[in-house]
Amino acid sequence: MDMNFNQHISQQFNADLEGIRNQMLAMGGLVQRQVADSIEAICSGDTSSADKIIQREDDVDAMEVKIDQECTHILVRRQPAASDLRMVLAVSRVVRDLERMGDEAAKVAIHALEVANGNQAASKMCNQSIHHMGNAVVKMTSDALDAFARHDVKGAIEVVRSDKMVDEQYASAIRELSTYMMEDPRSIGQAINILWILRAIERIGDHARNISEQVIYLVSGTDVRHSSLSEMEEQAQSDLPDNT
C-alpha cells in the first residue's frame, strides 16, 4: 500500500490542485503589483503609471474567471474532500477577494489622476495617512499571500491585526478630512477624491484580511469569517497546539 500521503493516487488530481493554487498565487502577485503601483502613483504624484494600472485590471478579471472555472471543474471531476475540498473552496474565495482588490487599486489610480488634475493646494490633504495606510496594505497583501502559500496561521493572524490598525487610521483620516472641508469649502472637490482613495485603501486591507481568514480555514477547517481577532487567536491556538 502506498503510504505517501502528499500525493494523490491520481497524478492528474495533484496537478489540477497545484494548478489552481499556483495560478491563484500568480494572480496574487499581479494584484499585489497593482496595489503597490497605485499607492506609489498617489503618494509620489507621478500618475504616468495610472493608465497601465487601469488597463491591467482586465487581466486580473480574466484570471479570476479562469481560476474559478478550474475550481468548478475540479469539484465536478474529483468531488474533493477534506483538505482538498478546503483548498478548492479557499482558492475560489481568495480569487474573488483578489479581483476586488484589483478593482480598488484601479479606483485609487483613477482618483490619483483626478487629484493630479485638480486643486494643487488641496492635493496634499491626508498625505501622511495615505502613505501609512497604503504601505500597510501593500505589505498585508503580500503577507496574506505568503501565509496562504506556506499554510501559516500565525502569519495570517498578523495580517488581521494589521487590518485593525488600518481601520483605525482610516477613521482618523476621515476626521482630518472633515476638518479640511469645514475650514475651506473650496477643497471639497479634492477632499471627495481623497475620501475615495482612503476608502479604496481601507477596502484593500479588508480583502487582505479575508484572504487571511481563508488561510485559517484551509489549514484548520475552522470558518473564522466574522470573528473578532481575539476569537481567531483563541481558535487558532485550540486547533493548532503545535503552532503556538
List of residues contacting other proteins (CB under 8 A): 1-10, 13, 78-86, 220-221
The answer to whether the CB of 11 falls within 8 A of the CB of 4 is no
* Residue-by-residue DSSP string for 179-228: HHHHH-GGGHHHHHHHHHHHHHHHHHHHHHHHHHHHHHHHHH----TT--
Nearest Cα residue to 211 out of 107, 104, 106, 100: 100
Contacts of 48 (CB under 8 A, 6+ apart): none
Closer CB to other proteins, 4 or 230, in the complex: 4
Instruction: Supply 181's cell numbers.
Output: 472641508
Closer CB to other proteins, 6 or 48, in the complex: 6
In whole angstroms, how close is the CB of 183 to other proteins at the nearest point? 55
What's the distance, CA 241 to chain centroid? Answer: 28
- Count CB neighbours of 90 within 10 A: 24
In whole angstroms, how close is the CB of 34 to other proteins at the nearest point? 33
Closer CB to other proteins, 1 or 183, in the complex: 1
In whole angstroms, how close is the CB of 19 to other proteins at the nearest point? 17
Closer CB to other proteins, 6 or 230, in the complex: 6
Closer CB to other proteins, 85 or 188, in the complex: 85
In whole angstroms, how close is the CB of 160 to other proteins at the nearest point? 21
In whole angstroms, how close is the CB of 128 to other proteins at the nearest point? 44
Closer CB to other proteins, 76 or 183, in the complex: 76
Burial 146-180 (b: 16+ CB within 10 A, else e): bbbeeebbebbbbbbebbeebeebbeebbeebeeb
In whole angstroms, how close is the CB of 155 to other proteins at the nearest point? 21
